[in-house]
Amino acid sequence: MPRDPSETELMLKGYGLTTAELFYRMPDYRHVLNSFVWQHYDLAPDHPKLFEFIEYWQAEIEGPLHSVRFTHRKLIAPGEWRHVTGEFTLH
């Protein structure tokens, strides 16, 4: 069984943390808005995981979506990661 990649492996492959806030209408009270926060490692600019989750919501959850706002942050930029092969200690 293949293992899931670690967070560091995902970040090194270009994934960043995507946070979305979904506003939806309550099934029994359509005039009431509620919110749900979702986070996952995803690839910008296409955001396949986010859109997969939105499609799941629309198919399986009774509360219709009103709006979605999201942000994406790459946690490791190209110049921030260094591979260290050794360490020298003085004194």
Q: Give residue 65's pLDDT.
A: 94
Kindly state whether residue 88 falls inside one of the protein's structural domains. Answer: no
Domain count, the chain: 1
Kindly state whether residue 39 falls inside one of the protein's structural domains. Answer: yes
Handedness of CA 37, 49, 45, 24 (dihedral sign): negative
Kindly state whether residue 91 falls inside one of the protein's structural domains. Answer: no
Q: Give residue 36's pLDDT.
A: 95
Q: Give residue 62's pLDDT.
A: 92
Range of the domain at 70: 7-80
- Segments in the chain below pLDDT 70: 1-2, 76-91
Kindly state whether residue 90 falls inside one of the protein's structural domains. Answer: no
- Cis preceding linkage at 48, omega within 30: no
Kindly state whether residue 27 falls inside one of the protein's structural domains. Answer: yes
Distance CA 32, CA 16 (A): 32
Answer for the pair 36, 19: CB distance below 8 angstroms, yes or no.
Answer: no
